[in-house]
Structure 1
Amino acid sequence: MTPRRRLAVITGASRGLGKSLVEEFSDAGWAVVAVTRAPTTWADRQQVTAVTHDVRQEPSEELLSAIGGRSVDVLINNAARGAQHAKLGDIAAEGVLNAVDVNVAGPLRLVQAVLPLLLTAPDPVVINIASRLGSLSAQARGDYSELSTSYAYKISKAAQNMLTISLAHDLAGTVRCWAVHPGKLATEMGQADAFKDPQVAARELRELVDSGDRTSPRFVSLGAADLAW
């Protein structure tokens, strides 16, 4: 009997880290459902199924059909939204709410939609792509005070960390839940001090998944020591 191909569902898959994750997991023999807000093709990768979906909406029939009732081994909530840094008087509350919708409510919607399929996998894990900037303890110490980071991004990533903790407690013993800071990625959303190739981060994350680490919740910094919440 042919072994079952493990399945990863990855959001924000059109560019940057998301694209690298699709390539890394599919190259390692996984089946991948690649979720993007705009239509994207993966013609050169037969094991990749492309789905157009905005994580601000409830998961569509198209998305669920692409998964096709298969067990979901890994759900990677990578889609993210921030806002431009602004002075306090110029911060738009709408921008903060939009970031929370994408970075917090989006992962929650996906977990709720695929939870029955996660629970049929032998060793499932939910991974929320996080940020060091969402660490309340680090921010309170002023560790990143020199960076021009928007309220929207910091608030939403801190809230996403609480979502990860809440999911881990609710799903203890059934689904591992990790917040993963991929490193200082040299992507469009990267900070001025960013240098890390997203392909390196994708490989490190896939290796972490394959390690079978049991810690949950966990705030991982790929290639470095775990972060404080």
Structure 2
Amino acid sequence: MKKLAVVTGANRGLGLSLVNEFSEGGWSVIALTRSREPDAVAAPSDVVTVRHDVRSNDASELLDVLDGRPVDLLINNAAQGAPHGELGSIPAEGVLNAVDVNAAGPLRLVQFLLPNLLAAPDPIVVNVTSRLGSLSAQASGTFADLSTSYAYKMSKAAQNMLTIALAQDLQGRVRCWAVHPGKLATDMGQADASKDPRTAAAQLRELVDSGDRTSPRFCSLGERDLPW
């Protein structure tokens, strides 16, 4: 039986590239999208599209499609950003929404799929994160010149902590990685972003195929690992 990957935020950008990369690499893929757009996901026979919002506490449609099948790889790719603003104009609601999508969303998916993950022989959880979630890099001023929203930085730092907590809780059973894909040329990318999401998707599949046992791990695709 083919290995199975579940990918969130799969209708465009990196998510869509990941669906295509793993499908073309011989995996079965369940592509989770918030809206069921007709051409959102190229759908060969081994890709099933499921409508699911990672903020939802109901995963019945996803679990029905899985029907108890083991999940070898969960890629939490869905993300929420927010525009940069001055301190006095930052709405707390925007921060809470970003945390809900970027940190609580991956937690929900792991909870929904934990029996399926534990049924796989060597499961992996990948949380697609950002270098901007590094507390040590932010504290040293590495990214001080970037106009990044409080919501994005805070939620990605929370997501990184989730990765560490999951890795410790699931030690020896599920590998958990925080993966920065690079500066991607997508709708959410920075102005100077130039990396093709298809390149990042290929690099992630190479990492998954590498057999690396480190968990937790905070890595930047094609680069050195990042400081937490």
Normalising to structure 2: TM-score of the pair? Answer: 0.97
Which AA in structure 2 matches 1:193?
Answer: D
3-state DSSP of counterpart to 2:53:
coil
1:51-85: CA deviation from partner (whole Å, max 9, x where unpaired): 00110011421111122211100000000001100
Structure 1 vs Structure 2 CA RMSD: 0.9
Larger displacement relative to structure 2 (56-65 or 207-216): 56-65
Distance, in Å, in 2 between the alignment partners of 1:135 and 1:59 is: 31
SS at match of 2:178: strand
Change (3 A) 1:72 1:44: closer
Deviation, structure 1 residue 95: 0.2
Distance 1:201 1:188, change over 3 A: same
Rounded to whole Å, the distance in 2 between the matches of 1:168 and 1:140 is 24
2:219 equivalent in structure 1: 220
- Show CA shifts across 1:112-153 (max 9, x none): 010011001111000000000000011111111111100000
Task: Give the structure 1 partner of residue 128 of structure 2.
Answer: 129
Q: Corresponding residue for 1:48?
A: 47
Instruction: Tell me the equivalent position of 2:170.
Output: 171
Structure 1 range deviating more: 186-195 or 130-139: 186-195
Unaligned stretches of 5+ in structure 1? none
How many pairs does the alignment contain? 226
The answer (yes or no) to whether the contact 2:20–2:42 under 8 Å persists in 1 is no
SS at match of 1:8: strand
* Structure 1 equivalent of residue 17 of structure 2: 20
Structure 2 counterpart SS, 1:154? helix
C-alpha separation between the residues in 2 aligned to 1:118 and 1:57?
A: 20
Structure 1 segments of 4 or more deviating over 6 A?
none
1:10 paired with 2:10, answer: no
Residue number in structure 1 paired with 2:29: 32
Q: Look up the match of 2:83.
A: 84
State which drifts further: 211-220 or 62-71.
62-71
CA deviations 1:146-193 (Å, max 9, x no partner) are 111000000000000000000000000000000000001011111122
Structure 2: gaps (5+ residues): none
What is the CA–CA distance in structure 2 between the aligned matches of 1:225 and 1:44, rounded to whole Å? 34
Shift of residue 44, structure 1, vs aligned partner: 4.2
Aligned mates of 1:113, 1:167 — CA distance in 2? 14
Please give the alpha-carbon distance, in whole angstroms, between the structure 1 residues aligned to 2:42 and 2:92: 40
Which whole-Å CA distance do the structure 1 matches of 2:51 and 2:183 have between them? Answer: 28
